[in-house]
Amino acid sequence: MRQMSLTPELVALCHREEIDPGPSGEWTQLSDDDFGALATRLADEADEGPLWVFAYGSLIWKPAFESVEQQRASAHGWHRSFCLDLVRWRGSAEQPGLMMALERGGRCDGVIYRLPDDDKTAQIERLLRREIDDHESVASVRWVPVRTAQGRVRALGFWVGVTGRGT
């Protein structure tokens, strides 16, 4: 099996610590109620079967959630791209950082993680709190069809189909 090219060691070479100035007034922050409602909606949209999460970047080496299974997967029709400018966390207004997202076209290889069957809503909320923090980013959370050696599955993806300026 081919090894993935993106490794924690490669990421460490380009990691830059920036002081987070906090959210700007341009973004509408999600409240606890907003996170809960979004997690409930996504859990309701999930199929009756297992809940899968598609990881193609930092969720691979730092998942921040419990999983009971993982498989290699490919999202056809999407490709990985450093297409989001960040002025928080990895960047600043003076020197924006870049964040990976999925753009249309091509194929993105990654990993799908199966979440435990119990308390899917809480698992999804934990993921949401890690991945997004404002209403403007909600549209980047979507269900993505992926292919595995065992067949096709539907997985929850983050930062899918957005480019430009991130939070």
CATH H-level, domain 50-165: superfamily: Gamma-glutamyl cyclotransferase-like (3.10.490.10)
Question: Which pLDDT does position 141 carry in this prediction?
Answer: 94
Residues 6+ apart with CB under 8 A from 47: 154
Active-site choice (18, 103, 131, 136) = 131
Q: Tens place of pLDDT for every residue, the chain, 167 residues? A: 566 677 788 878 876 666 666 666 677 889 999 999 999 999 999 878 899 999 998 899 888 788 999 999 999 999 999 888 877 766 777 878 888 889 999 999 999 999 998 889 999 999 999 998 888 889 889 999 999 999 999 999 998 776 555 54
CA 20 – CA 128 distance, rounded (Å): 19
Residue ranges per structural domain of the chain: 50-165
- Concerning whether 131 is annotated as a catalytic residue, the answer is yes
